[in-house]
Amino acid sequence: MAIISTWLKPKKKITFDEFIERLSDIADDFMNKENKTLGINYIGGDCIIKREKNSPKKIIVNIEMYGTVENDNWKKSQIKLERPLRLFTDDENTVSALNKLLKEPLKFKVEPPQKEN
């Protein structure tokens, strides 16, 4: 599991769309780094963003990435994190997106990054 320290601790509040972009960037960076250092060829993965009713003042993110290493053995890597709602702006689109997370998680596919040269 990856430990993320500062990539989502902005100096100013961000929109939900900016948050999604940052998640995409960190997943790409993570997969590129593991490809270079460990030889993992990622094919993509899944991302789930949710809010839990017993802890509604934060969002929870789980990104699972799948790839192969030598001899076509499968490898799964994860990034898990929690972030407080105070991280976000209070614009209408962001508030709406965050409220929807209380009803159902947001799920989407993680595409493999373009290989760095």
Q: How confident is the model at residue 4 (pLDDT cuts 50, 70, 90)?
A: very low
Judge contact between 8 and 85, C-beta under 8 A.
Answer: no
Q: How confident is the model at residue 113 (pLDDT cuts 50, 70, 90)?
A: confident
**26-79 pLDDT, tens digit each:** 889 888 998 889 889 999 999 999 998 888 899 999 999 999 988 889 999 999
C-alpha torsion angle, residues 24, 107, 19, 112 (rounded to 10): 0
pTM: 0.82
